[in-house]
Chain A
Amino acid sequence: SQQGEEDPQALSIQEGENATMNCSYKTSINNLQWYRQNSGRGLVHLILIRSNEREKHSGRLRVTLDTSKKSSSLLITASRAADTASYFCATSPNTNAGKSTFGDGTTLTVKP
């Protein structure tokens, strides 16, 4: 099974509302990354948060990491129709050369 699991699987909101997505993982990590994918295209990196960090911001994005609960959340504030996409978390394990593992993603639909 995937290391990272996003929740919810799908989310539909109105423009201007906030969207929160969660990611849970099973083993110790070196870092956790969030990516966005527009339909059928490549993934775009959003934020990388390291295991010794608790919160990071980038524009309208806020990511938190709780290593005790093995979970992370991605908050998109004041959402726009252009935020409609699938969002994935990826975890890099706490080993020197462990591979990153992606979850199944959250599909976000922002209605204008």
Chain B
Amino acid sequence: KAGVTQTPRYLIKTRGQQVTLSCSPISGHRSVSWYQQTPGQGLQFLFEYFSETQRNKGNFPGRFSGRQFSNSRSEMNVSTLELGDSALYLCASSLALQETQYFGPGTRLLVL
């Protein structure tokens, strides 16, 4: 089976712009989670989706949003980018909630 894929892999944006990141889970996986990883804050949970419904949300401002489609693919959007949004954004899929998560390679976002 193909692993979790994330696009794009690298992205450079400027402050105030918005960005959309995409995640394709492993075939058959219905749960997708997003994480932000920075050197200072470590791995921070953003959201978790299961069957197109957001099941959990982390402590991030409303500028961070996401969704999941009927084929389990997921997107996350960050509006009005800030310098502090520069990070590695990781997507993980699992068969069900609270099961083993399989991570994608991440999207590295740099905000200038």
Contact = CB atoms under 8 A, between A and B. Distances in A.
Q: Which 3 A-B pairs have the closest CB atoms?
A: A42-B103, A99-B56, A92-B98
Given A43-B92, A88-B43, A99-B33, A33 B56 contact: no
Contacts of A88: 43
A67 interface: no
A97 B90 contact: no
Interface stretch (A12-20, A69-77, A101-109): A101-109
Interface of A: 2, 30-31, 33, 35, 40-45, 48, 88, 90, 92, 96-105
Interface of B: 4, 33, 35, 42-43, 45, 48, 55-56, 58, 88, 90, 92, 97-106, 108
Given A42-B104, A43-B103, A104-B42, A97 B92 contact: no
Contacts of B102: 45
B98 A102 contact: no
Contacts of A30: 98
Given A45-B102, A102-B35, A102-B42, 10 more contacts: A2-B42, A35-B103, A40-B108, A42-B103, A43-B90, A48-B99, A97-B98, A99-B48, A102-B45, A105-B42
